[in-house]
Amino acid sequence: MSRFLSDRLSGLEPYVPGEQPKDGSILVKLNTNESPFPPSEKAVAAVAEEGKNMRLYSDPNGTALKEKLSQVYGLDPCCFVLANGSDEILDFAFQAFADDLHPAAFPDVTYGFYPVFARKYGIPYREIPLKDDFTLDPENYIGTGETLFIANPNAPTGIALERQVLERIISSNPDHVVVVDEAYVDFGGESCIELVNKFDNLLVTRTYSKSRSMAGARLGFGACCPELARDLESVRNSTNPYNVNRMTLAAGAAALDDEAYTKKCCAEIIRVRDKTAKELQTLGFSVLPSSANFLFVKNPKISGADLYAALRRRGILVRHFSLPRIEDFNRVTVGTAEQMKIFLDNVKQILEEIKK
């Protein structure tokens, strides 16, 4: 820390993203829930074409993309807020809708960025323990008087909640915003996006990073009633009106012309996920029921840290969190069938070795 850093930021504890290895030692990268499939060819072509116009600023309102989103999701264009990844929408939401009078609350085991945002803005927050099996007890979220952040499906567990349960939580907190983070919903969750027209306190966040194979493009959006959208827009326009660049705006719209491709990729991930889960169970792993593009797994014969390290030595990268309650687990992104075969073969070999 330099002697110049503002006191306000002296306690900042930044989010630590998963490793993006550059040394060529990693053969199979299953640590940050990226898609193993390329983005839509239409999106790639749109980036090349739009690149020719990059001397000009991007459309600060993202009008063309919002029109497309409106058609796909059946909401008015003014219900969408565009951002540089859904992380940015979440950042705006913490700024806009949480403070001393509206403290934040979220599960104790969830996306690690939520407490980082809360601390950055000095927002009081409460972590609500999940049950022993990592499911969420809805009763803990009824009428709490807090701004709620719920990832559905949850990360890093992969466990999904039914829409009906979220609807109860949303309707029981009419004076507080409920943010439903649907980063993984395309892999088998029930979306709440259709509830946006019914509840003025609901913000759904979505990302192109996972199901649309566009993590590097940085595109996410919020869907909410027009009043909430206006609040988020005023935060966005007070930060960076050009937060989404031209190429990404064009790619985002083009990808929506290729929904069949996205559906096909998601169906394949789901197939490989369920097959991999079964095989891991055969090897003695407990596997949490996943509705996402990753599996959260542990094996009584080897610690989470040791399995992570052994896989890493073999060129396979998964994610391990040294955190209470989940340090025994590894989070394994679902890759292609070929990648998962390599992963499983290596896991088998590691388990054989520790038997000796």
Binding positions for ligand PLP, 224-263, rule CB under 6 A: none
Select from 151, 224, 253, 316 the one that contacts ligand PLP (CB under 6 A).
151
Select from 165, 215, 342, 351 the one that contacts ligand PLP (CB under 6 A).
215
Q: By CB under 6 A, tell whether 166 contacts ligand PLP.
A: no
Nearer to ligand PLP, 82 or 310 (CB): 82
Nearer to ligand PLP, 28 or 292 (CB): 292
Q: By CB under 6 A, tell whether 35 contacts ligand PLP.
A: no
Q: By CB under 6 A, tell whether 86 contacts ligand PLP.
A: yes
The closest of 260, 264, 268, 263 to 334, measured between CA atoms, is 268
Distance of alpha carbon 136 from alpha carbon 144, whole angstroms: 15
Select from 93, 116, 148, 155 the one that contacts ligand PLP (CB under 6 A).
155
Q: By CB under 6 A, tell whether 220 contacts ligand PLP.
A: yes
Select from 85, 252, 304, 335 the one that contacts ligand PLP (CB under 6 A).
85
Nearer to ligand PLP, 146 or 181 (CB): 181
State the nearest-atom distance from the C-beta of 292 to ligand PLP, in Å.
Answer: 8
Among all residues, whose Cβ is closest to ligand PLP?
A: 85
Distance of alpha carbon 199 from alpha carbon 181, whole angstroms: 16
Q: By CB under 6 A, tell whether 95 contacts ligand PLP.
A: no
Nearer to ligand PLP, 157 or 173 (CB): 157
Q: By CB under 6 A, tell whether 183 contacts ligand PLP.
A: yes
State the nearest-atom distance from the C-beta of 181 to ligand PLP, in Å.
Answer: 5
Select from 95, 152, 173, 209 the one that contacts ligand PLP (CB under 6 A).
209
Distance of alpha carbon 204 from alpha carbon 206, whole angstroms: 7
Nearer to ligand PLP, 217 or 347 (CB): 217
Q: Which whole-number Å values give the CA distances from 272 to 104, 161, 184, 251, in the listed order? A: 36, 22, 16, 27
Select from 31, 207, 245, 346 the one that contacts ligand PLP (CB under 6 A).
207
Q: By CB under 6 A, tell whether 62 contacts ligand PLP.
A: no
Nearer to ligand PLP, 33 or 290 (CB): 33
CB 164 within 8 A of CB 198: no
State the nearest-atom distance from the C-beta of 254 to ligand PLP, in Å.
Answer: 18
Tokens of 229: 């959208």
Residues that bind ligand PLP (CB under 6 A): 33, 85-87, 111, 151, 155, 181, 183, 207, 209, 215, 220
